Structure 1
Amino acid sequence: MTSSHSTLSINTNTTTNSITNSNNNNNNSNFKPNHKAKSSSISTSTNPNQSFPHQSNQHHQSNSDSISSTAVQTPTYSLNNNNSPISPLNTPINTFFNNKMQDDEDNQEKEVEEKGNYKNQTIQATLYILGWYFFSLSISLYNKWMFGSLGLNFKFPILVTSFHQLCLFLLSFVILFVNSSLRPLKNSYKGGNFFKFSKTMLFVDFKFILVNILPCSVASAGDIGLSNFAISLISLSLYTMLKTSSLIFVLIFGLIFKLEKFNWRLIIIVLVMCGSVIMMVDKPEPLKEDDSVELIEEKNSKFGIILVIFASLLSGLRWSFTQILLKKNPYTSNPISTIFYISPIMSIVLFVLGLIIEGWGPFIESNIWEKFGIFKSIILLIIPGILAFFMTLCEFKLLKIAQIITLSIAGIFKELLTIILSFLIFGDKLNFINILGLIITFSDILWYNYYRYKQNEVEGYEKLSSGESDLNDGVEYVKLNDLEINEYNRS
């Protein structure tokens, strides 16, 4: 007969742990388990023949070989061993909380990083908008001097804009040749050979030109050309009112091409802004004594109104296509390469429209060529072309990091500033409707910026929440394991 204080041994695949409870050891130990106490050694073995301390020693001896041979390959969990997975220092619940604290720290770091990225994007967007304002205002003043009757009276805006696009193409070509890092991702040639560079940049996939570049170039050229033609058929105030519809088309095409997320607040913001801009620019022209209803209708022809609305539609397509090129096409992954591929086709389309609308004969017979000479006249055309390049660069940079509607609303804010400055500096008269429109427009722009801020917060929270979904699974898993251990201890 075996002594009642025999040795209990539970084997695993790696070690054999012994718990020896002798009379001598019991006298010297601070802890004396009885037959009802929980075992000081817990095994996760699923062997049905495994014995426990409260069972008979004889039964344990008879099944010890079976226990050793069928034990599951898991380590023995000892509460007195600090290196054990369920020791007081390394229990599953402690492990879970340690992991959760680490994940919380990682989420906080991600949140800080998201806020930092949003702050950097906001700063960049502000700089690009300011740059766009500066170059756009410079071009407006220059064109007013060139096309206006008080300046050069050179009334060929479409043909001149065609020349500007040629300048954009040449400047972007030079920059891409000098800086190989700005070349398209599809362009494998990064060397300095001029002929190889020209070949790889100009001779690209025809399908890419037909499907991606041509629609964007035609829409851009159509917007510019039809707008310049329509303004000669209707009054300036009516043209400005109708052109605000471009904001609606930008939103519509942004939703169609999934560049914007559908939200009723955004739709309300756009509709309110369109109405407030109409109020802001509403300035009825003074009637003369000989002005009849027929003469007023002739000034604002139906054909001119249709042209403005169609130009606004093309404007919505233009900016949608441009943002798709910037964000989703390897050939046009940066603004410089986008300008390089879009500008030559735009130049050709605008040149054809200019020949149809403005005519080549009046263009070459203008007195500007005799007054300044051919060389100086070309210089006068190149200067706004350089300004147009930097203005377009700021536009494309803004489209690269911001939503598509941001550029349109930034343009409306520029109009708002222009009206306010004209009122303060030049003494332009504003009626009650104009002032009310200014207030509503400014408030709506603030609302839009708040909407974008909250939207970025929600998107950042969704990213963090998706990262925490694994933690929730881990909680359930740890709790189940913990319950299994507790149930095992109760047996």
Structure 2
Amino acid sequence: MGFYADHCTYLPPMLGWFTFSALLSSYNKLVFGEAHLAFPCPLLVTSVHFLVQWIFSWVVSSVYSEFFGGNRLKEMTWREYLGAGIPCGLATSLDVGLSNLSLVTISITFYTMVKSATPIFVLGWAFLFGIERITGSLVLVVMIIAAGEFLTVLGEVDFDTRGFVLCLCASVISGARWTVVQLKLQGMQPPLKTAIATMRLLSPSMFISMIVISLAIEEPWLKLGAGTPYFASFEQGLHTVGLCIGGALLAICMIICELYLIMNSSAIVLMIGGVIKEMTTILVGVNFFGDPLNAINVAGISVVFLGVVFYKVNFHMGKLEEKDAESETQNGATEYQKVNIDPEKESGAGYPISE
């Protein structure tokens, strides 16, 4: 028991995080990929995922309001609720929607490689919003990750321009999402207690924006209506609905595992776990989907991971220096509190989203 407590405490949630993340990525590729089920309305399915997350977070935070922070949401004014929920939810919705659209034509492996460049855009948006200063170390991080992404794209065998552009746009919006979430939610007093509370705050606007976009672009009444097999019978209808809800349940399981790690583990555990999670997803793509991977790809993603690790180490070293400086001030007060823009270590503000 002593050995387990010392060395294996985070092993079950970490394995759950890896497993459900890989399953969710596989689900998205199987359902949306043009070489697989090729479901014609990926944005509609994504909106169902958001709806299920909304219902789940509402029920859990209502029944266990004290533990999951439901009371804080009830105390919010409409101005506070909409001011935080709409911009954060819209950015999250666009990020996930574009990510799922990209999986229609690109491989899981290439998708994971491109999305690994998100720290570049986190830094870029943080600089534009005036919450991060450009330093030599940050410039080096951007150059390392950009070089890795160049090698990744250069080595891609089945390159698809449309899928790459969609995935790259998702990465850009993901950077904006983390920055906006931090600006809007981190300064809340009192703060949101858990990621479940944040899910309940953001998921309504995520669902509404995604269903509107789906109706406008995909026209699901035509692609899923008469003459299609998706609702041709009651059994087929149940199969289609179950397929949509299944992905949402995978996303919720992944969120719960990551929530536990966010709330209980250290930044180093999350940093290492995040890199291993990406590597696990790539291995799934190569072994189960037959994604091609050559020496240039491997070199590119290795350089990207190196840049990401350097970014996180640099970030947390800076946070430690800030804490040391803060402890030296009288009564622990500081004139300036830097906004946390690290998407790995949050106190509920940046809850993980299904992708």
Q: TM-score, normalised by structure 1?
A: 0.53
Number of aligned residue pairs: 319
Contact 2:43–2:211 (CA<8 Å) still a contact in 1? yes
Of 387, 398, 403, the match for 2:250: 387
Which residue number corresponds to residue 168 of structure 1?
53
Of 161, 169, 183, the match for 2:69: 183
Of 115, 120, 128, the match for 1:248: 120
Distance 1:422 1:401, change over 3 A: same
Q: Does 1:300 align with 2:161?
A: yes
Of 17, 36, 40, the match for 1:155: 40
Q: Pairwise mapping of residues 256-267 of structure 1 onto structure 2 (< 5 A)?
A: 256=128, 263-267=135-139
Which residue number corresponds to residue 77 of structure 2?
205
The alpha carbon displacement at 1:335 in A equals 1.1
Contact 1:246–1:312 (CA<8 Å) still a contact in 2? yes
Higher relative contact order (CA 8 A, sep 6+): 2
- Distance of 1:408 and 1:274 partners within structure 2: 20
Distance 1:152 1:410, change over 3 A: same
Which residue number corresponds to residue 313 of structure 1?
172
Q: Deviations over 1:140-163 (max 9, x none)?
A: 222333334675442321100100
The alpha carbon displacement at 1:363 in A equals 2.5
The one-letter amino acid of 1:334's match is T
Which residue number corresponds to residue 323 of structure 1?
182
Q: Deviations over 1:274-300 (max 9, x none)?
A: 3214424543447xxxxxxxxx9xx63
Distance 1:267 1:166, change over 3 A: same
Structure number with bigger Rg: 1
- Distance of 2:115 and 2:254 partners within structure 1: 20
Which residue number corresponds to residue 344 of structure 2?
none
The alpha carbon displacement at 1:128 in A equals 6.5
Q: TM-score, normalised by structure 2?
A: 0.70
Identity of counterpart residues, as a percentage?
A: 30
Contact 1:218–1:345 (CA<8 Å) still a contact in 2? yes
The alpha carbon displacement at 1:164 in A equals 0.7
The alpha carbon displacement at 1:342 in A equals 0.9
Q: Does 1:367 align with 2:229?
A: yes
The alpha carbon displacement at 1:339 in A equals 0.8
Of 77, 89, 92, the match for 1:217: 89
Q: Deviations over 1:83-113 (max 9, x none)?
A: xxxxxxxxxxxxxxxxxxxxxxxxxxxxxxx
Residue 55 of structure 2 aligns to a residue whose secondary structure is helix
Contact 2:94–2:173 (CA<8 Å) still a contact in 1? yes
Which residue number corresponds to residue 433 of structure 1?
296
The one-letter amino acid of 1:168's match is Q
Contact 1:250–1:320 (CA<8 Å) still a contact in 2? yes
Which residue number corresponds to residue 141 of structure 1?
26
The alpha carbon displacement at 1:207 in A equals 1.5
Which residue number corresponds to residue 337 of structure 2?
none
The alpha carbon displacement at 1:259 in A equals 6.2
Q: Deviations over 1:20-45 (max 9, x none)?
A: xxxxxxxxxxxxxxxxxxxxxxxxxx
- Segments of structure 1 that go 5 or more residues without pairing to the other structure are 1-119, 188-199, 287-295, 470-491
Contact 1:326–1:333 (CA<8 Å) still a contact in 2? no
The one-letter amino acid of 2:204's match is P
Q: Pairwise mapping of residues 229-248 of structure 1 onto structure 2 (< 5 A)?
A: 229=101, 243=115, 245-248=117-120
Residue 328 of structure 1 aligns to a residue whose secondary structure is coil
The alpha carbon displacement at 1:439 in A equals 3.8
Which residue number corresponds to residue 458 of structure 1?
321
Which residue number corresponds to residue 63 of structure 1?
none
The alpha carbon displacement at 1:179 in A equals 0.7
Q: Deviations over 1:394-425 (max 9, x none)?
A: 55666778999x98996665334443566678
The alpha carbon displacement at 1:359 in A equals 1.6
The alpha carbon displacement at 1:352 in A equals 1.4
- Segments of structure 2 that go 5 or more residues without pairing to the other structure are 1-5, 333-355
Contact 2:117–2:149 (CA<8 Å) still a contact in 1? no
Contact 1:326–1:332 (CA<8 Å) still a contact in 2? yes
- Distance of 1:427 and 1:388 partners within structure 2: 24
- Distance of 1:307 and 1:424 partners within structure 2: 25
Residue 332 of structure 1 aligns to a residue whose secondary structure is coil
Of 414, 433, 436, the match for 2:277: 414
Residue 415 of structure 1 aligns to a residue whose secondary structure is helix
| Pairwise CA RMSD | 4.3
Contact 1:280–1:437 (CA<8 Å) still a contact in 2? yes
Contact 1:145–1:152 (CA<8 Å) still a contact in 2? yes
- Distance of 1:362 and 1:147 partners within structure 2: 14
